[in-house]
Each structure stands twice: as structure tokens, then as C-alpha cells.
Amino acid sequence: MDKNSKIYVSGHCGMVGSAIVRELKRQGYSNILTRTHKELDLCRQDEVEKFFAMERPEYVFLAAGKVGGIVANQNALADFMYENMILEMNVIHSAWENGCKKLEFLGSSCIYPRMAPQPMKESFLLTSELEKTNEAYALAKISGLKYCEFLNKQYGTDYISVMPTNLYGPNDNYHPTRSHVLPAFIRRFHEAKITGLKEVTCWGDGSPLREFLYVDDLANLCVFLMNNYSGDETVNAGTGIELSIKELSELIARVVGYEGTIKWDASKPNGTPRKLLDISKATALGWTYKTELEDGVRLAYEDFLNNQMRTER
Ligand SMILES: NC(=O)c1ccc[n+]([C@@H]2O[C@H](COP(=O)([O-])OP(=O)(O)OC[C@H]3O[C@@H](n4cnc5c(N)ncnc54)[C@H](OP(=O)(O)O)[C@@H]3O)[C@@H](O)[C@H]2O)c1
């Protein structure tokens, strides 16, 4: 990308899209194109076609999507599949039809099989069954990734994809039922501290192992890949470091300053026992994460305190 290339960042109001815009600006890119969901509904094919025909962006980061935690996914399998699939197909297809030089598609580590050996390599895609609770979302993400691959194969495009582990950071979603585990813990422990709750009960037994990447580090990788990577196979984005959900809860309680007891409700589902990405491909390309988990959680909590108005989105 040149510093004045026309770059469209979809989903720029969301956590990932806003981090990509921040990173592009930080690196001196000056011609960044954005539209809010209200201005352009990416599920509307005719509107997307008109937008691309008019603007003809040279580069596209596809960071828009319908995103949610386990409860939101389980309760709306059809919506998660339909909205993500339609949105991706509309954006990728219109980008290609209007001469977009390079597109980067944001997927998720849930595209990998539920019983995949750990850590999960990019080559494990489609080797066995998916996790049922987010199968719809995963299938939509796999379709987006595959559509990029097939455009490359059939038409010689240079469209790539990146698969991040669990993300967190500024502009995260803190909704009580629609958020992911890390922002959900920040909100619950903060509220417990404020209201003087003596104990907080969390789902499961706290044993599952998870990996977390600070979203600004992901954005740095996204820009890096746009400039330095071409290929059909996706690139995993993570830290390569895992901790248990129990350890995570203790870290967050410490950062937030909650001193009550954390209890576990083992009658609630744990989810997959372990989910760790193999990040050797990104490392071999010359990229590595910068933000340690505790530092990142401090920054995320600061952002949460400054922007509590956003927590109901
Ligand atoms: N968060 C994570 O832990 C995580 C992990 C792995 C991968 N990812 C990937 O990163 C991408 C972005 O995630 P995120 O965490 O940034 O989610 P987010 O904060 O919810 O942002 C998604 C953005 O997409 C917009 N959007 C959704 N549907 C749209 C539509 N039909 N038309 C136009 N805009 C639409 C949303 O606008 P509204 O809010 O107005 O609907 C929002 O601004 C996802 O697609 C996912 O693949 C995220």
C-alpha cells in the first residue's frame, strides 16, 4: 500500500475495524474510506455494489461482521450464518468486480475443528467436525476465506485472510449477554466492586485454556500482512501463550480491584477444553505481538471506564 492508496476499512466502528484505522493512521496512511452500518448495510447487495462502483477502493480490510459470545451464537445460529455469509460475499465480490488490488478478510479461530490437535496450525482447516455452538458463524467464516482462495485461483487476485484468536482492547463489546469472556469479566468484576458484591459466580469450572491478543497488536499484523503476505492459506494471529479461565478471572479481578470471592458453576458448559493457535507462520513472516496480557487488560479497563456509554451496544 502507498501512503495515499485508497483503503476501505469495513466495520470501522467495531473493535477490530477501529484498531485497523488507528494503526493505518499511525503509519501515515491518509486516504482511509469508512462507512457506518447505518450509512451502508453490507447485507444489502445493491447498496454494496453501488458503493464499490462509486468509490473503487484499492485495498479492503473486511472487519465488519456479526460477532458474539457463546450464548449469542447458540441463540441465533441462523442469523449468524446469514448475515456473515451475505455480508462477506457482497463485499468480496464487489471489491473484485471493481478492481480492488488486495483484500484482507478477518476470520476467527473457531473455523478450526473442535477436536483439532493443539496448537492449531492453518493446515488443520476442514480436517474434522466443527464445534456445534458456533458452527453457523464458523461456516460463514470458512466460506469467506474459501471465496478469497477461489478468486485467487480462478482470477489471479491477491486476496488474503487472517484468523485471530480471542481479541480484547479498546472499543470492545461489554454487553451483558452478547460479549466474549474477557470483556464480560471486566464488566462483571467492575460492577461487583461498585455494588460491594461479596462473591461472583462464573460459568463452568474455570479449567479451559484460552489465548488472548490485544487488538492493536492484531491491527499491526493486519497492516503488515497487507504489505508483506500473499497466499491462499490463512495466517493465524495470536500470542502462542495460554492461561486458564480461572487464571484469567483472577488477573482481571486484580486489575479491576475486585476483592470478593470468585465461584464456579460447574453445571454450566465449559466449552472446548483448550484452544491455542500455532503462530509459527506469522512469526516466520517476521511479526510478533507486543502487548502482554496484564498490560492489555489495564488498557482495556481504562477504555471501559472512559466509555461506559458504549456497553449497551
Ligand atoms: N472480537 C473477537 O474476539 C474476535 C476474535 C476473532 C476474530 N474476530 C473477527 O473480527 C471481526 C470484527 O470483530 P469485532 O470484535 O471488531 O466486532 P464488532 O466490534 O462487533 O465490530 C463489527 C462491526 O461490523 C459492523 N457490522 C455488522 N454488520 C454489519 C452490516 N450488515 N453492515 C455494516 N456494518 C456491519 C458492526 O456495526 P454495528 O455494531 O452497528 O452492527 C460493527 O461496527 C469479526 O468479523 C471477526 O471475524 C473478532
Q: Tens digits of per-residue pLDDT, 172-196?
A: 999 887 788 999 999 999 999 999 9
pLDDT below 70 — which residues of the chain?
Answer: 309-313
Ligand 1 atom closest to the CA of 171, numbered from 1: 19
14 C-beta closer than 6 A to ligand 1: yes
**Ligand 1 center to 198 CA (angstroms):** 35
206 C-beta closer than 6 A to ligand 1: no
Give the DSSP letter of residue 277: B
48 C-beta closer than 6 A to ligand 1: no
What is the SS3 string spanning 2-69?
A: CCCCCEEEECCCCHHHHHHHHHHHHCCCCCEECCCCCCCCCCCHHHHHHHHHHHCCCEEEECCCCCCC
Residues 6+ apart with CB under 8 A from 154: none
Q: Residue 208: is the preceding peptide bond cis (ω within 30°)?
A: no
**Ligand 1 center to 65 CA (angstroms):** 4
Using the Cα atoms of residue 300, residue 22, residue 176 and residue 166 in order, give the sign of their dihedral: negative
The answer to whether the CB of 226 falls within 8 A of the CB of 59 is yes
Catalytic residue among 29, 112, 137, 147: 137
CB burial of residue 47 (10 Å; 0-12, 13-18, 19+)? middle
In the chain, where are the structural domains located?
7-312
Residue nearest to atom 19 of ligand 1 (CA): 14
As a whole number of angstroms, the distance between CA 266 and CA 178 comes to 21
67 C-beta closer than 6 A to ligand 1: yes
Ligand 1 atom closest to the CA of 172, numbered from 1: 19
What are the backbone angles phi and psi of residue 293, rounded to the nearest 5°? -55, -50
**Ligand 1 center to 66 CA (angstroms):** 5
Q: Identify how many contiguous H helices and E strands the chain contains and give both numbers.
A: 10, 12
The answer to whether the CB of 297 falls within 8 A of the CB of 248 is no
As a whole number of angstroms, the distance between CA 1 and CA 146 comes to 24
95 C-beta closer than 6 A to ligand 1: no
| 127 three-class SS | coil
Considering the entire predicted model, what is its pTM? 0.96
Provide the pLDDT for residue 7.
98
**Ligand 1 center to 173 CA (angstroms):** 10
Q: Does domain 7-312 match CATH 3.30.70.270?
A: no
What is the per-residue burial (b if ≥16 Cβ within 10 Å, else e) of 85-107? bbbbbbbbbbbbebebbbbbbbb
Give yes or no: 258 in active site: no
180 C-beta closer than 6 A to ligand 1: yes
pLDDT in tens, 111-129: 999 999 999 999 999 999 9
The answer to whether the CB of 238 falls within 8 A of the CB of 277 is yes
